[in-house]
Amino acid sequence: MTGRTKIGFIGLGIMGKPMASHLLRGGHTLFLHSRSGVPGELLTQGGQACSSPAEVAQNADLIITMLPDTGDVERVLFGDKGVAEGLSAGRSKGGIVMDMSTISPVETRKFAAEINELGCEYVDAPVSGGDIGARNGTLTIMVGATSSAFVQVKPVLEFMGKTITLIGPTGTGQVCKLANQIIAALTIEAVGEGLLFASKAGADVRKVRQALMGGFAYSRVLEVHGERMIERAFEPGFRVELHRKDLGLALSHARTLGVSLPGTATVQELLNACIAHGGAGWDSSALVRMLEKLANHEIETIEGSHDES
Ligand code: NAD
């Protein structure tokens, strides 16, 4: 899919909106739909609003979904006026449905089989890099697809991401993304524990973070989420309820595989506690707040201290 492509984009939230904007800037024709409405900026850029996923599918050769959860993808693909209805209406034989949401790998394989029955390819291409990566077009994209479908979608993905890897057949993109979420969640928890400990012990947490950024404990999570914890910046970003969803997908898949994930289960409980405290919409770095409750101590900054990183 090189040159100008007719692309459908369904789900224009924190991630979908900037991703669609990059595709418009790249000269593609976009057919747009989102339950929350199509953002005015995308229409100004030349995007065309559609009233249903079926209408999107009737117009586009490649249909991208960027939706919250497995049930949302299922509704958009196979529900009333869904993508499958639009594909069956005719012109899209040989088209591609590409889901970029983070959803169940098991359901992904079922969705792929149903889309394949309609004569179309299915690609799972979940992303990492957050809202910042979406805005900068620097997402990491983990792809499950046939090699021929991958070759077709790669030039489109290059407008949205920097590191694009074909992991294997359909469903393996989602498996890779869940591994990413396990690692990210446990790292957020580790950064929270480290900073909380340092604060309770009387150290200047801005200086602690700055020092650790140059050492073995450096991570992007220490950089971004560590700063959020210190500066109390818990606007999402990546919502607690979405991270809990991803760990739930990982834990239930792991159970079927007979794999024990004790760290993941612990962080899942901290995210559950956030939700019990009204934090479904907080950024997932706010799980430090639950560690703070356990310690009966809130991370403090020292007056006049500055982060020089
Ligand atoms: P979001 O809630 O901001 O956006 C989702 C969009 O989907 C909304 O605009 C909503 O209106 C739309 N939508 C939901 N149900 C719909 C339906 N039935 N029909 C049409 N539109 C519908 O979520 P987000 O943060 O953009 O995340 C989207 C996906 O990307 C999730 O699976 C999430 O786990 C994943 N993700 C998010 C981030 C992040 O940092 N936010 C990072 C990586 C991956």
Please report, for the domain that includes residue 159, its CATH number.
3.40.50.720
Domain match, 165 and 30 both: yes
* 74's tokens: 């299922």
Domain match, 127 and 196 both: no
Q: Mean pLDDT check: name the lowest of 33-47, 77-91, 135-149, 249-263.
A: 77-91
Which tens digit of pLDDT belongs to each residue from 70-97? 999 999 999 999 999 999 876 556 799 9
Which tens digit of pLDDT belongs to each residue from 125-152? 999 999 999 999 999 999 999 999 999 9
Q: Is 152 in the pocket of ligand 1 (CB under 6 A)?
A: no
pLDDT at position 22 is 98
Is 242 inside any structural domain?
yes
pLDDT at position 3 is 56
What integer best gives the mean pLDDT of the chain?
A: 95
As a whole number, mean pLDDT of residues 246-264 equals 97
* 213's tokens: 């950024």
Which tens digit of pLDDT belongs to each residue from 225-241? 999 999 999 999 899 99
Is 45 inside any structural domain?
yes
Last residue of a domain, one of 153, 169, 185: 169
Distances (CA, A) of 139 to 14, 81, 160, 190: 13, 30, 6, 24
Last residue of a domain, one of 113, 145, 169: 169
What is the atom index within ligand 1 of the atom nearest the CA of 245? 34
Q: Which range of residues forms the domain containing residue 63?
A: 6-169
Q: State yes or no: pLDDT of 307 exceeds 90.
A: no
| Number of domains within the chain | 2
Domain match, 108 and 80 both: yes
As a whole number, mean pLDDT of residues 19-30 equals 97
Domain match, 253 and 155 both: no
pLDDT band at 20 (very low <50, low <70, confident <90, very high): very high
Q: What is the CATH number of the domain that holds 281?
A: 1.10.1040.10
Domain match, 107 and 132 both: yes
Domain match, 160 and 191 both: no
Domain match, 116 and 203 both: no
pLDDT at position 303 is 75
Distances (CA, A) of 269 to 104, 149, 264: 20, 39, 9
Q: Is 36 in the pocket of ligand 1 (CB under 6 A)?
A: yes
Domain match, 200 and 293 both: yes
Which tens digit of pLDDT belongs to each residue from 189-206? 999 999 999 999 999 999
Q: How many residues does the chain have?
A: 309
Q: Is 174 in the pocket of ligand 1 (CB under 6 A)?
A: no
Domain match, 162 and 34 both: yes
pLDDT band at 43 (very low <50, low <70, confident <90, very high): very high
Domain match, 222 and 279 both: yes
Is 118 inside any structural domain?
yes
Closest CA to 186 of 99, 96, 294, 271: 271
Rounded to two decimals, what is the model's pTM? 0.93
Q: Is 10 in the pocket of ligand 1 (CB under 6 A)?
A: yes
Phi, psi (deg, nearest 5) at residue 85? -60, -45
As a whole number, mean pLDDT of residues 105-116 equals 97
Q: State yes or no: pLDDT of 209 exceeds 80.
A: yes
Last residue of a domain, one of 154, 169, 184: 169
Distance from residue 12's CA to the centre of ligand 1 (Å): 7
Is 1 inside any structural domain?
no
Contact between 223 and 76 under an 8 Å Cβ cutoff? The reply is no
* 241's tokens: 């309820």
Query: Going by CA atoms, what residue is nearest to atom 7 of ligand 1?
Result: 11
Domain match, 109 and 38 both: yes
Query: Going by CA atoms, what residue is nearest to atom 8 of ligand 1?
Result: 13
As a whole number, mean pLDDT of residues 273-302 equals 97
Is 211 inside any structural domain?
yes
Query: Going by CA atoms, what residue is nearest to atom 31 of ligand 1?
Result: 68
Domain match, 10 and 149 both: yes
Is 82 inside any structural domain?
yes
Q: Reply yes or no on whether 177 is catalytic.
A: yes
Phi, psi (deg, nearest 5) at residue 300? -115, 145
